[in-house]
Amino acid sequence: MLDWDERYMVEKRLVVSGTKAWSQTLGNVDVVDNGDGTVMLNAGTHGYKVGSQVYIDGTTNYDGLHTLTAVAAATITFVATYVAEKPGGSETVRIVLFPGNPFQLMEVRLHLNAIPTTSENIAITLDSAAGADFDVVVKVKDMAGNSIADWDWAPGKSTELKYLATEALIFTWANSNSKTYGLEIRYKELM
């Protein structure tokens, strides 16, 4: 059970924009030291835009949340101390809310440049601290099926969504129609 003291909660946000699926596999290519305090990873045809906050997972040296400082067709660049590494091809870059402290999901805002034509779910899934047997789909939304280009979801007081420091929310969407999106995730973190 979590005890929450509103006096010690700080509202934060995670923002991501782009034109492709919300999860990509890193390429089996050496990490590049840009020589300016940033590193570059091969991320396939990722579609993320500069300023996006993405989560790297499965690497030896670069796991965690990173803000993209530069992007190219198949690469992402972010601030990090360079350590030689070559991803094996199973590592990912995706949208994950994992503050590392207990947190409460406040709101999810999504804008698309147009209504998609392919029916596919946007999903928010809890990666439970108790293990995969306890992972839960928190929310799904089919933008095409609902004929909408904007979605603003706030759980509200009656369904407050609170999570442990060891838990994460994973956001997935195939985005088969390559719609341009802007995603903002607002949350409160217990400090």
89-102 per-position pLDDT tens digit = 899 999 999 999 99
Whether 42 and 116 share a structural domain: no
pLDDT at 1 over 50: no
Whether 72 and 101 share a structural domain: no
Whether 180 and 112 share a structural domain: yes
> For the chain, what percent of residues have pLDDT higher than 90?
88
Whether 163 and 72 share a structural domain: no
Task: Name the pairing type of β-strands 53-57 and 38-42.
Answer: unpaired
Whether 37 and 63 share a structural domain: yes
For residues 133 and 159, the answer to whether their CB atoms sit within 8 Å is no
pLDDT digits (tens, 9 = 90+) for 122-180: 999 999 999 999 999 999 999 999 999 999 999 976 678 999 999 999 999 999 999 99
- Structural domain boundaries, residue 143: 6-17+95-190
Integer Cα distance of 111 and 66 in angstroms = 22
Whether 183 and 128 share a structural domain: yes
Whether 41 and 102 share a structural domain: no
Least confident of 6-10, 58-62, 82-86: 6-10
For residues 152 and 138, the answer to whether their CB atoms sit within 8 Å is no
Whether 148 and 177 share a structural domain: yes
State which of 88, 119, 143 marks the end of a domain: 88
Integer Cα distance of 17 and 1 in angstroms = 34
pLDDT at 35 over 50: yes
Whether 163 and 84 share a structural domain: no
Query: What is the structure's pLDDT at 4?
Result: 53
3-state secondary structure of 161: strand
For residues 77 and 38, the answer to whether their CB atoms sit within 8 Å is yes
Q: Within 10 A of 144 (CB to CB), how many other CB atoms are there?
A: 18
Overall average pLDDT of the 42-68 stretch: 96
Query: What is the structure's pLDDT at 160?
Result: 82
1 lies in a domain? no
For the record, the structure tokens of 190 come out as 């217990």
Integer Cα distance of 163 and 98 in angstroms = 10
Task: Name the pairing type of β-strands 103-112 and 9-18.
Answer: unpaired
State which of 54, 70, 88 marks the end of a domain: 88
Q: Of 40, 10, 3, 42, which Cα lies nearest the Cα of 26?
A: 42
Overall average pLDDT of the 98-115 stretch: 96
Averaged pLDDT score across all residues of the chain: 94
pTM: 0.92
Whether 101 and 166 share a structural domain: yes
Q: Which amino acid is at 162?
A: K
Integer Cα distance of 8 and 6 in angstroms = 5
For residues 135 and 155, the answer to whether their CB atoms sit within 8 Å is no
Whether 142 and 167 share a structural domain: yes
Query: What is the structure's pLDDT at 3?
Result: 54
